[in-house]
């Protein structure tokens, strides 16, 4: 990403120099105008590339929504009852994706066993099981 930033700085300097040459008294130069346009286009492309690689960019955030959902569901308790959770909204949203969930103690009484039908990632509803 450093090379792209460096290239962008060079192009901006070139555009400033070309603009001064174009503003100087004398005949209009289509070649200078084209050179400015070409450099502006390259800067636009570099800006998109640089912005897409930054940590908070939309492109980076949306790279793999399915992976995000799967990782987030690893802490379902935190999602449902965490400090940012709104119980009423959580229930409404889950009702759109959950047919039924059954909770029962596991055989060794070390946790809770759950099973049911829900679809959080799109596609067909699947039977699901797990243990907490």
pLDDT digits 0-9 by tens, 29-74: 889 999 999 999 998 888 877 766 666 555 665 666 666 666 666 6
Report field, pTM of the whole predicted structure over 0.75: no
CA-based radius of gyration for the chain: 28
**pLDDT at position 125:** 47
Domains of the chain by residue range: 2-61, 65-131
In angstroms, the CA 96 to CA 80 distance is: 15
pLDDT digits 0-9 by tens, 105-131: 877 777 777 788 777 665 554 555 555
Cβ-based neighbour number of residue 18 at 10 Å: 20
Tokens 């962008």 label which residue? 8
Q: Which two three-digit tokens encode residue 113?
A: 């066993």
Identify the DSSP state of 41: H
Check whether 18 has a pLDDT greater than 60: yes
In angstroms, the CA 100 to CA 128 distance is: 10
**Cβ-contact 96, 106 below 8 angstroms:** no
**pLDDT at position 17:** 92
């Amino acid at each position: 990403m450093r090379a792209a930033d460096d290239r962008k700085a060079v192009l901006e300097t070139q555009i400033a120099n070309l603009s001064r040459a174009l503003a100087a008294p004398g005949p209009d130069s289509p070649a200078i105008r084209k050179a400015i346009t070409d450099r502006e286009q390259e800067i636009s492309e570099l800006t998109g590339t640089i912005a897409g690689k930054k940590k908070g960019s939309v492109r980076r955030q949306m790279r793999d929504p399915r992976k995000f959902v799967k990782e987030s569901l690893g802490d379902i308790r935190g999602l449902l009852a965490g400090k940012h959770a709104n119980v009423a909204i959580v229930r409404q949203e889950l009702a759109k994706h959950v047919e039924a969930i059954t909770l029962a103690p596991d055989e060794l009484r070390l946790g809770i066993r759950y099973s049911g039908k829900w679809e959080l990632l799109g596609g067909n509803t699947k039977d699901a099981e797990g243990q907490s």
